[in-house]
Structure 1
Amino acid sequence: MQDSRQFVPELVALAHKQEGGRTQLLAPCPGLWREMPEEGALVRAQGQIGWIEVLGVMHRLRAPAGASGVVGGSSGDDRARRPVEYGQALLCLDPEGLAGSSSASVEAGAEVGSDGGSLSFTAPSSGRFYRRPAPDKPNFVEVGQTISRGQTLGLLEVMKTFTRVNYDDPRLPSPAKVVEIVAEDQGDLDQGDAILRVEPA
């Protein structure tokens, strides 16, 4: 069976290390930046930090690998569509905020499960969740499976485009054992909803 799903193009922000371990993320190209994260939000490595519209085409914008932290500063422009140039500063990530926000971690994907032992990996944005890459393909992960950092857990559909949901929360264990899959296949999720629960492998 042919898979007719359309996958959205992606761009990765540039990174500039600053004093104190902070990382400044820069625009990888000129365009219109949309849906930027708010100050205080957690950004995961390779996590989404909005969209960049380039010549009318929407590109999902991701943080680079190795860049994670709490949004500590931006340009202060709160417009829904912010014009940016190549190399323009978008926001600053403070890694020290990770430890300080560990107790309030629903958005970060480290919510403690109802059994008091497992941890939840949560949806990075709202959308429809798919457990398999195509209707005739097996699920990305199953209960009892051991997963590691960067592994694909499913697909998230937003406006008829699909993006991979990767196990990328720096505060969840790796490797980890999947103890429960909470999200239903083709079920609608809001940002912060649990996708699955894990425990250290």
Structure 2
Amino acid sequence: MDIKEIQNLIKFVAKSGASEVKLEMDDVKITIRTGGTDSKSESTTYVQQIPMGQPVAQAPAALAPVAPAAIESPEASDDSKYITIKSPIIGTFYRKPSPDKPVFVEVGTSIAEGDVLCVIEAMKLFNEIESEVSGKIVKILVDDSSPVEFDQPLFLVDPS
């Protein structure tokens, strides 16, 4: 199962309104849980690679869900005029295409639709994340080389 299939499955489950979906295949075990159908629902996804020939066992305790940090501050109301660019996949966020290259964008960089903003490495594949909006980068919300979750905010963009 490749990353695109997993992304499509997550989107499908989120739109369907199901509260939990479990999928077990020969080498992959996926559990997707959603908090409900309201706009503030929480979504948790686990993907576990299982070596071929190994019996499928109970998921280890290390896969316990991590509660997202509450981000309610006075700044939140100021950020409402900005567009949030979110992670389309789970992986590791990188601001540069490689360690010896310059970063894709900085705060204050003007961007257009289709510009590469970062790369997210998932299962040894480096996925370029392109902008779907034009504007100016106001804030970078994730540190370089940090793990990111599906739908986690990465950048704030001023569309004006």
TM-score by length of 1: 0.45
Q: Secondary structure of 1:197's partner?
A: strand
Q: Secondary structure of 2:12's partner?
A: coil
Structure with the larger strand share? 1
Q: Can you give the 5+ residue segments of structure 2 that lack an aligned partner in the other structure? A: 17-21, 26-37, 43-74
Residue 185 in 1 paired to residue 149 in 2? no
Q: How many residues align?
A: 106
Q: Secondary structure of 1:133's partner?
A: coil
What's the counterpart of residue 114 of structure 2?
150
After the TM superposition, which residues 61-100 of structure 1 pair with which residues of structure 2 at under 5 Å, given as runs? none
What's the counterpart of residue 12 of structure 2?
39
Q: 1:160 to 1:148 in 2, by over 3 A?
A: same
Q: Can you give the 5+ residue segments of structure 1 that lack an aligned partner in the other structure? A: 1-8, 11-32, 42-70, 73-77, 82-102, 108-112, 169-173
CA deviations over 1:11-45 (Å, ceiling 9, x no partner) = xxxxxxxxxxxxxxxxxxxxxx842334375xxxx
What letter matches 1:200 in structure 2? P
Q: 1:105 to 1:195 in 2, by over 3 A?
A: farther
Give, in whole Å, the separation in 1 of the partners of 2:139 and 2:89: 20
Whether contact under 8 Å (1:34, 1:80) holds in the other structure is no
Give, in whole Å, the separation in 2 of the partners of 1:39 and 1:167: 23
What's the counterpart of residue 196 of structure 1?
155
Structure with the larger helix share? 2
What letter matches 2:97 in structure 1? P
Give, in whole Å, the separation in 2 of the partners of 1:105 and 1:176: 26
Whether contact under 8 Å (1:154, 1:166) holds in the other structure is yes
Whether contact under 8 Å (2:95, 2:118) holds in the other structure is yes
Give, in whole Å, the separation in 1 of the partners of 2:155 and 2:5: 28
- How far off its partner does 1:191 sit? 0.6
Q: Secondary structure of 2:119's partner?
A: strand
Q: 1:105 to 1:131 in 2, by over 3 A?
A: farther
Instruction: Name the Cα RMSD after superposition.
Output: 3.1
TM-score by length of 2: 0.55
What's the counterpart of residue 139 of structure 1?
103
Give, in whole Å, the separation in 2 of the partners of 1:132 and 1:162: 11
